[in-house]
Amino acid sequence: PKGKAWGGRFAEQTDRLVEQFTSSLACDRRLYPYDIQGSIAHCRTLARAGVLTARESAQLVRGLQFVKVELDGGRFPFSPQDEDIHMAIERRLTELIGPLGGKLHTGRSRNDQVALDLRLFLRDVLSTLMGQLQEFRRVLVGQARAHLDVVMPGYTHLQRAQPVLLAHHFLAYVEMFDRDRGRLHDCRQRLNVMPLGSGALAGSNYPVDRRYTAALLEFPAVTQNSLDAVSDRDAVVETLSALSLIMMHLSRLSEELILWASQEFRYVDLPDTFCTGSSMMPQKKNPDVPELVRGKTGRVYGHLMGTLTLLKGLPLSYNRDLQEDKEALFDAVDTTGQSLALSTELMRRLVVNKNVLAEAAEGGGMLATELADYLVTRGVPFREAHSITGQIVRFSLEQHRPLQQLTLKDLRGFSARFGEDVLSCLTVRGAIDRKGQIGGTARRRVEARIKELEKALKG
């Protein structure tokens, strides 16, 4: 049909509905900088192989650069007949420079072209996200440093368990986001392989030097099997999987912030600028940002599952199904990027109600373990010490007196091993500072970890 690059074999026009259904232009147009970068490298490779003259190659490159200027400036004339960004760019190039434009696609298929574009795109995106993760970690370490003296209840089962430093809690997320950064790094390393020259599926008829193309595009290696290269979307799945973990971590943090900002906890205040009110209830200040981060997590998981499902039944090599990978990938990348950016700003401006936290850290019988451990130092086997302390906790609940308020006489009623020095065990600070091993919540440990992280995150 008229206007179609592949129209030669067809006697009839494409149905308009089919054109709409098969088009990916609305989605993949954002690949244009990578597409043009790849095409320029392809031209240079063809010239080096003697398939194009130096003049032809130079003219094609200039044309492509001009098309990029149009796209950058939002002046590119898109046409509904363009199936995707690759066809749109080639069509426009030919309009601009004439029949020579038709030589661009020599020895190339959209299959290896789109595989290349995706890898170039992912390299950029993964680098950006790694930078965002580092910035987020810097903010969290900063907040840990700023709140080094704030104590709080640590939880298991959402029940008060043992007192910890708020800084220690913040640093828990710093560890999670470091693993996330590592996953993105691994993924980027593995995908950094150049697929062009794989053709539609079988390879190239032309004497192209694939390593030269790779060098132009700064890939350290080339793909080793053309069938695999055009049908492989592992990097998309790995990215979606790493993004799912980032979102899972952000969602857990969001959940905590939502709880902590509630009147039931009052541990923190979220900045007004990050909340909204209710159209009906004048008193409301709703934690929309963390709620949406938590909600959008499901969307990213969905893209991971959707893409795995997309791939599971595909015979080698390229199938048009693969076109669906991009909507999932782009949406997951955008959602994660925004969620990270918003969470970073939220944490930067978080207001901590340190007195509420301190008061909470005193309650809940959280020093009971200290009491049991004290008895252990006096030679009582831990199981017996646990049982004695359990009875003391019950007594303290019945008496409506927190453990810290029991007297030595009270305690000695349960075990003769209690001595004067037990009372110093029954302080929140003491309990925290006794957790002095690597990874524990003792103040000096946490401070040392902050120093290490500050050093690692400098610059």
Binding flag, residue 24, ligand ARG (CB under 6 A)? yes
Binding flag, residue 118, ligand ARG (CB under 6 A)? no
- Compute, in degrees rounded to 10, the torsion defined by CA atoms 312, 318, 319, 320: 120
* Residue 153 Cα distances to 392, 400, 411, 425, angstroms: 20, 19, 24, 17
Q: Which is nearer to ligand ARG, 136 or 318 (CB)?
A: 318
The span of 45-53, 109-117, 125-133, 363-371 binding ligand ARG (CB under 6 A) equals: 109-117
Binding flag, residue 320, ligand ARG (CB under 6 A)? yes
The span of 295-303, 315-323, 412-420, 436-444 binding ligand ARG (CB under 6 A) equals: 315-323
Binding flag, residue 311, ligand ARG (CB under 6 A)? no
Residue type, position 146, single letter: A
Residue 305 makes CB contacts below 8 A (sequence gap 6+) with none
Q: How far apart, in whole angstroms, are the C-alpha atoms of residue 347 and residue 131? A: 17
Binding flag, residue 114, ligand ARG (CB under 6 A)? yes
Q: Which is nearer to ligand ARG, 16 or 320 (CB)?
A: 320
Residue 213's closest CA among 319, 326, 107? 107
278 flagged as catalytic: yes
Q: Report CA torsion sign: 91, 93, 95, 98.
A: negative
Binding flag, residue 389, ligand ARG (CB under 6 A)? no
Long-range contacts of 412-418 (CB under 8 A, 24+ apart): 414/388, 415/375, 415/380, 415/388, 417/375, 417/378, 417/379, 417/380, 418/374, 418/375, 418/378
Report the nearest approach of ligand ARG to the CB of residue 317 (Å): 10
Q: Which is nearer to ligand ARG, 84 or 370 (CB)?
A: 84
Among candidate residues 278, 279, 387, 396, the one labeled active-site is 278
Binding flag, residue 35, ligand ARG (CB under 6 A)? no
Report the nearest approach of ligand ARG to the CB of residue 84 (Å): 4
Residue type, position 216, single letter: L
Out of 108, 110, 181, 183, point to the residue binding ligand ARG (CB under 6 A): 110
The span of 36-44, 133-141, 319-327, 348-356 binding ligand ARG (CB under 6 A) equals: 319-327
Q: Which is nearer to ligand ARG, 35 or 180 (CB)?
A: 35
Among candidate residues 157, 244, 262, 386, the one labeled active-site is 157
The span of 12-20, 106-114, 227-235, 244-252 binding ligand ARG (CB under 6 A) equals: 106-114
Report the nearest approach of ligand ARG to the CB of residue 114 (Å): 5
Q: What is the contact mask toward ligand ARG in residues 71 to 100, using x (rule: CB under 6 A)?
A: -------------x----------------
Q: Which is nearer to ligand ARG, 102 or 277 (CB)?
A: 102
- The answer to whether the CB of 160 falls within 8 A of the CB of 364 is yes
Q: Which is nearer to ligand ARG, 167 or 236 (CB)?
A: 236
Report the nearest approach of ligand ARG to the CB of residue 124 (Å): 18
262 flagged as catalytic: no
Out of 323, 343, 389, 415, point to the residue binding ligand ARG (CB under 6 A): 323
Out of 41, 322, 367, 450, point to the residue binding ligand ARG (CB under 6 A): 322
Q: Which is nearer to ligand ARG, 28 or 370 (CB)?
A: 28
Report the nearest approach of ligand ARG to the CB of residue 327 (Å): 10
Q: Which is nearer to ligand ARG, 101 or 199 (CB)?
A: 199
Report the nearest approach of ligand ARG to the CB of residue 96 (Å): 22
Residues involved in catalysis: 157, 278
Positions in the binding site for ligand ARG (CB under 6 A): 24, 28, 84, 110-111, 114, 318, 320, 322-323
